[in-house]
Every structure is written in C-alpha cells, then in structure tokens.
Structure 1
Amino acid sequence: MSESVPGLAPEVFAPVEAPVSPPQASEEVEFVQLLTPEGERVEHPDFAFDLDDEAIKGFYRDMTIVRRIDTEATALQRQGELGLWASLLGQEAAQIGSGRALNAKDMVFPTYREHGVAYCQGVDPLNLLGLFRGVDQGAWDPRDNNFHLYTIVIGAQTLHATGYAMGQQRDHAVGDPDTGEATIAYFGDGASSQGDVNEAFIYASVFNAPVVFFCQNNQWAISEPIDRQTRIPLYQRAAGFGFPGVRVDGNDVLATYAVTQQALKRAREGSGPTLVEAYTYRMGAHTTSDDPTKYRLSEDLEYWKLKDPIERVKAYLARSAGVGQDFFAEVEAEADQVAAELRRGCLAMPDPTMTDFFQHAYVDMPDELAVQRDQYAAYAASFGADSEGEG
C-alpha cells in the first residue's frame, strides 16, 4: 500500500505508464523528407533543396564510393587485415547530406563511424584504415581538413565540440550565416543516453554555442533498441534544454542536406545550437565483432532495404533527370578503383614498432620517458632482429 506525503498531490505517485514502443517496420514516422524511397521529389513547408541535378549526381557518386570503401574495409577485416571496422552501411545519406552542407570553416567532431563525413572533408580513407589496422592512432591532422580524430569513448566528442564552438564564439567567428563558423558533433542514438551528451546540451544552450548536434538514430545501440533509450522521439529532447530539434529522413540525402544546412546557418549567425535527428537504420553490424542476427528480426532489415538511400537517388536520376546508364557505370568503375587502391595501400602499411609510441607523448621527451624507451628497446632487442615489429 502506498503512503501519502504531506504537501504532494496523490497523482504524483500515480503508476508510471509503460514505455512507448518504437515504430515497427509497418509504421510510418513523421520527419522532413524531400525524396521518397521511390525516388519522387516532394515539398516541405519549412525546408527546401536548392541545388540542381548535377549536385544530386555528385551526392550519388559520393554515396556510392563511400559504400564501396565501407564494403572493402569490411572485407579487409574479415581477411585479418584490420582489427575492427565500424560499418556505415545504410547511413550514407545522413553522412553525405550533412557533410556536403559544411563550409570550409566549419569544424567536425566525429565518432568512429563517420567515414562518409571524413570523405566529404577530404580525409584520405587510408588514414581511417590505419587506425583500425592498429598502425597508428589516427594519422590525419584535424587542422588540415577541419575533421577531428575519431572518438571511441561514447559521447565524449559532444563536449569537445561544444567547447570548440564556444571558442569560435569568443574568437568572433560567429555572426554571419554564410561566412561565419560553426561546429557539428556526430553521435548515435545510444550515445544520447550518455551523461556527456546531456552535459554538452546544457553548456551549448546556456552559452548559445554555435554547434549542431547531429544524431544518427540507426535504431540500435549495439544490441539495445531505441525504446530502451527514450520514451519520446530523440529530437524532442532539445526543447527541454532550450534549443530547437528537428527529425529528418536520414535515408534522404536531399532532406539531410537541407536540414543540416539550415541548422549550420543558424549556428553561424549566432542563434545557437540545434539538434538534428537523422532517422535511419544500421544495415550491418554495430562493428565487425557484432552479430546482429542475435537481437533483431530479418524482416525489419528487409523492410529497410526498400528505403535504401542510394537506390532512391538512382531512381530519381534515371526517371526524372534523364541520367543514362553510362553515368552509373562510370561511378561504379570509379568506386571499384578507389577500393582497389585502398586495399593496396592497406596491405602496404608498415607495421608499427613499440618505440614509435614513445615519440608522440611529448614535444620534448622527458628524461624519465627516454630512459623507459631505451630500456624497452634493449628488452625487445634481446628477442632477435624481428622483435621491433612485434608487440
């Protein structure tokens, strides 16, 4: 029997309703959409895609090449050439659409799955493979491409992004929607349950930081479904922190571009943060160490295949833009060439030596670290000439 508490109404202790189940394969979800799964252009009252068909052809090329890179990296891992790989299969539109909305001054803070955004920012895909092969800890300079190193700690990059955005604000780099600077932080639906993400929302809101929080809701936090993460759509959480949120069809590259473009402009002009929830689906495993058949239904996967982000753009280009098969064949050939070069580059990567790691901790190595390096080198040498490549 429940007891009443003086000063509180009885309804305070009313039973909590069961969590609302996530939309099933047969249910429809409301979001911003400008290109249907059948490849038909549709209008939206608040968002519009303002580029031409040549730009859409470019998006198709980007997504096709990125998917081919992803396929090749997965194969390399299965063949023992990579230690791990986090696939983006099914999320190409979310990444290419948002990535192409960035300007040259915007800064990106990724997780470990933003291979498509990295491609948009000009990061060599081979550098991504170096990290997963274990030959380095990320071989690209964030300043070269305005693309920070991959973050493995779930959700931590949202705080990094918010702090960076506050720096942009204090450097007076904010104030113009076209020439100003903004920051975008990528994270998944599972990361939205992390304290770091919610703390980032608080700081971004209170300080009006020029940051876009881009959540790729692919329905699964490893093996945990979205209904274990939230009782309301993720984008609605933004209202509780005092800034706008919007949900976009994450398999629609046109809508993703339009929504992200508007959110970035809002940040650049000084209007503060926005939460974008890209509603998509992880077609593959969480990583190559995961087996999704253990926790999700095959019919859901088949349902989402009908919403493939690349096929809908191909359908539009072929039916409505008069693009012939020669274009699609050329893109496929280019993607295969990129994959072949990626494989060759991966297999040619030299193995790291343990002493290399001593070189990157400090600009000027302290004496005690130099002693440790020399001690390790002597220890490794005692095992023979090939020992430096081991470990």
Structure 2
Amino acid sequence: MTDENAQGFDTLQIHAGAKPDPATGARQVPIYQTTAYVFRDADHAAALFNLQEVGYIYSRLTNPTVQALADRLAALEGGAGAACCSSGHAAQIMALFPLMMPGRNIVVSTRLYGGTVTQFTQTIKRFGWEARFVDFDDEDAVRAAIDDDTRALFGEAIANPGGYVMDVPAIARIADAAGVPLIIDNTSATPWLVRPIEMGATVVVHSTTKFLTGNGTVTGGCVIDSGRFDWAASGKFPSLSEPEPAYHGLRFAETFGPMAYTFHQVAIGLRDLGMTMNPQAAHYTLMGVETLSLRMARHVANAEKVARWLEADPRVDRVTYAGLESSPYHERAKVICPKGAGALFTFAPKGGYDACVALIANLRLFSHVANLGDARSLVIHSASTTHRQLTEEQQRAAGADPEVVRVSVGIEDADDLIADLDQALAQAAA
C-alpha cells in the first residue's frame, strides 16, 4: 500500500492510481491502446523479463490504463496490490490458480451466484480441483469440511441473488486457524459497503462489470491481495514459496514479500492464462469508480424504500432484503455493512412461478437482463436463467428459489420504481 491509502474513500475513488500523464499532461487516465512497449535497450528488456525491474512488456501482462484501475481498486479495498482481468469468472480462476493443484480442494459457501456454483462444481473438476459446498452460517460444518488438502475458503460478502450477508470475520477466523486464505467475492457489496480485508479476508475478487463500472458497458474482473498472508509458512503453497522454474528458481514469497501473490497473478497467471482486461474496458471502469460512493448511497436508499414497499404489499409473500428488520441477516448487516445492505435482493409475488413470469413481462422501467449493479433497475428470474444449471435444492440453498425474482435496484426515482412494480404486480395478480 502507498501513503495515499490514508486518504478518504471519496478521494481515493477519484485519485488513487492516477497522476497526470507525464508525456502530455492529460488529467484523465489515457487509454493506452497498444500491444507492446519499446525497451530502452537489451539490458532493460532482460530485467523486465526476469522480474528484476517493474515496467511494461506486452499488454497481455500489463498496460498503464489497466494498471491504474488495479491500483485504484487495491487502494479502495485496502490491499497491497491487484491484478485486473477479463471478467469476474476469470478473476475467480485467477485467484485460485496460485493456490491449487490436482487433488486439492476449496470450501465454499452454498450462497453463491449460479455461474460460480457451476464453475466450481463442473469446470474446476477438469483441473483436478474440488469444491466442497457448506452453509457458511454453520461454522462447525465449515470447520468439518476443511482437511489437509484444503487450500482456500470462498464466499460472497453479500450473496447474489438473495442479498444474504456473510459473517466475514467469523469465517476469516476459521480460515486463519486452518492456515488457509479466505477469498471474498465483494461484487454485490463493493468496498464502499463491505471491507473484507479489514475483517480478515486474504483476497478479494470482483466482477468489475457490476457496481464498480455501474453503467452496463464493459465486462471485467479484479483480484486484490491483502498482502498479509504468509505463503511460505506451511508449505501448502509451493507456487508462491518454492523456486519457480520459469524465472530461474525465483521464489515469489521470498523475493516480493507482501506483493508475492500479485506479482504471481501477473507474471504467471496473466502470462499463461491470458485472461487480459482490455484498456478501453479499464477506462470505462475507472470513470465509473469515480462516482462509486455517490451511486451506492442512492442504490441503497432506493433498495430500502422499494423493499419496504414490497414487504407491505399483500400481493407479495416475502422479501429477502437484509436491510429489513424481518430479515434473519438484519443484525449482522448492521455490523458487516453499516452503510446499508446493498441493492440486490429477491421477492416472491403470490402465485409462484407463473406470477414471476407475468410480473417480469409487464415491468416497464425494470429491464429484464442477466446483469446486476447497473445504474438502471434490473430484474430476472434466477432459477430459470442465472441459476438454471443447478438442482432445485441448490437453487434454494443459493436463494434462487423458483418462486422468486431477483431485483437489482438502480438509481432512478424510487417512487417511479414502486409505481412500475405496482402496475406489474396488478397485472400478474390478474
């Protein structure tokens, strides 16, 4: 971390990672639309390739626009370093890549985005990795699932789609006792609402596509390291603690200290997996992040107003928003996310699945899309879309019950959103 991390959030979201361009004086971060960078001489090139000097080689690895975004997000999360990549799903694989090998496992929350559940139940098996799904509200079950082959715990701070709030400090203590990192997906919360690293998390991942960008224009992901985990202490993480053949026996943990994980993300992860974020995407996200705190305050205020209206409406069976006193996560939310419980939740219109379909068909302001975190209010029936590949048992465990719809509340006038829901519920009831 740098001295700028002592600055306030509103300052960091505008200034962190960015200075006037030294060549032109440009105040906004330029889009460095280039694949490669000229070396000063042969010695300079060799030093860069040997990781003896930090700089730019090729945009699959590093790019000034992308690096500005990575530095800004690291500052906002209170991390030591970060690496940006092409999507949130890419960020999850990138985060696990330095930790895993065939035969190893991760212990993960049952309350995850459906695409993550599919990635962890299906795709990572091809790498020889295993995911063990556990209700993270059952701390004894989490402890019981950990064994000598466990290399990480993984959960969402505010879970998609139900808006359930995870007890990050409690799970961090379990991870610490087991000597493994805790990885937190902070996409739905953003660092403005939840501070996972301050609560003991080792690594934070984001789909920058969502609230961080905030305008539904580009996909992206980011992996942020706290810089606090001792990768050499247990021998469980040889990719970081043991000699790396591709760099003449360099040991990342020994050479780079708190930045070991981040350097590995770039020098090995981006080099070999190639999950590169393009500079234009980084530019759009940098502009979005500049207003993050302003947007999130409005998202939360709108979500609270809409959720209370829905809960009081007789045409609605239940609402899962943790900002409501009726939520089992309400008291936890006051501690984990004191500025508000986010803008994502589900509700069940009376009439079950058919009512969900009719409701979505008649909404006018809410857009029916497979996304969240947009300035616009969005709606989807998770069980038949984002969580479609899961069994009904998995859907219910994740909060994507067949009889609920997920809403991502935007920054429009809340009264207009309520009016739209009112007329759609009337037509669904009819």
The structure where strand makes up a greater share of residues is: 2
| TM-score normalized with structure 2 length | 0.30
Larger RCO (CA under 8 A, 6+ residues apart) = 1
The structure where helix makes up a greater share of residues is: 1
| TM-score normalized with structure 1 length | 0.32
